[in-house]
Structures are given as structure tokens and as C-alpha cells.
Amino acid sequence: MAYVGFACGILFVLEANMKPLLRLLPLFLIASLAGCGGLSIPGVGSFVDIGPGDVFVAQSVTVEGGESVTWVSKDADSHSVTVDTVSGGPDSNTNHPSGMVSGDTYVWKVPNAPSGTKYYYHCRFHGTAGNGTSFGTGMVGLITVK
Ligand SMILES: [Cu+2]
């Protein structure tokens, strides 16, 4: 008896004779991928796609303080991850001063800030900064501390 499932691009197979620990793995993956937009695995952090197009996917991600967020560019155009107003927020310009292109990644460790702290950010090529409590315009995103 086998159970086959498909969740958010990951194919998994459950068999009755699997070792108990292996049987838990797909359930863990499903739980981790719940929502699919903001993939989050404890100790690994979250991932945000840049593109395709002028968009951050997922636009809003909630992350534990101390974990990391990794932006992965999937678009040929140059993009950036630029915090709007809060100091200590994400800023890809330090690693990619002329912008991130397809295949580039930027990792930002989320500070151990109070729960609910929001880091609004934008792409400096395709968006504008908000006032710190709301989105700017165009290509924008948000990281919230859980
Ligand atoms: Cu952009």
C-alpha cells in the first residue's frame, strides 16, 4: 500500500513499510511548505524569489528573529533588495552594488527584533520606498518578525 502525493512542486511517496522516521519526512515537508509562497524550514530560514518579472515572491514573509532570508534572482534584469527606512534591514547593494541578476542570491539574517517588527523593502530599480509602515510603489516586499 503506497500513498503518493504532490505538494508545491515536491513529489512524495509514503509506503507502509517505510521506516517511521522516513514516514515523518513528507509530513514535515508539507508542514514547512504550507502556503508555498514563503518556504520556511527551522534553522534554514525563508526564501524569496526575485521575478520572473518585477516582483518579489512571496511579497510578504514572516520569519523568526535570528533566522535568515535568502533572495534568489530568477530574472535577467537587475534588481535589488533595499530596505525602505528601518536601519539594519536588508540591503543587497552591499553584495551586489550594480544589482542582482539571474542566479544571484542575497542572504540577510533577521535581527532578534520584537515580534511584529516590519521591514518594508523595495527594488531600487523598479520600486519606491514606503514611509516605514506601509508599502511603497512598484516592486516592493515585506519581512515581518514572528
Ligand atoms: Cu527590480
Nearest to 57 by CA among 67, 47, 43: 47
The residue ranges of every structural domain in the chain are 1-36, 38-145
pTM: 0.72
The predicted pLDDT at position 45 comes to: 87
Residue 95 Cα to ligand 1 midpoint, Å, equals 16
Q: Are 22 and 39 in contact (CB under 8 A)?
A: no
The predicted pLDDT at position 44 comes to: 73
Which residues neighbour ligand 1 (ion) by CB within 5 Å? 54, 79, 123, 125-126, 139
| Burial environment of residue 102 by CB neighbours within 10 A (0 to 12, 13 to 18, 19 or more) | middle
CB within 8 A of 77, min separation 6: which ones?
51, 54, 101, 125, 126
The one-digit pLDDT tens for each residue of the chain (146 residues) are 444 444 444 444 445 555 555 554 444 443 444 444 445 455 578 999 999 999 999 999 999 999 999 999 999 999 999 999 988 999 999 999 999 999 999 999 999 999 999 999 999 999 999 999 999 999 999 999 99
Q: Does domain 38-145 have CATH number 1.20.120.530?
A: no
The predicted pLDDT at position 4 comes to: 44
Residue 60 Cα to ligand 1 midpoint, Å, equals 16
The predicted pLDDT at position 25 comes to: 45
Q: Residues, the chain, total?
A: 146
Output the nine-digit C-alpha cell for 17.
513499510
How do the residues of the chain divide into helix, strand and coil, expressed in percent and rounded to 5?
A: 10, 40, 45
Residue 139 Cα to ligand 1 midpoint, Å, equals 6
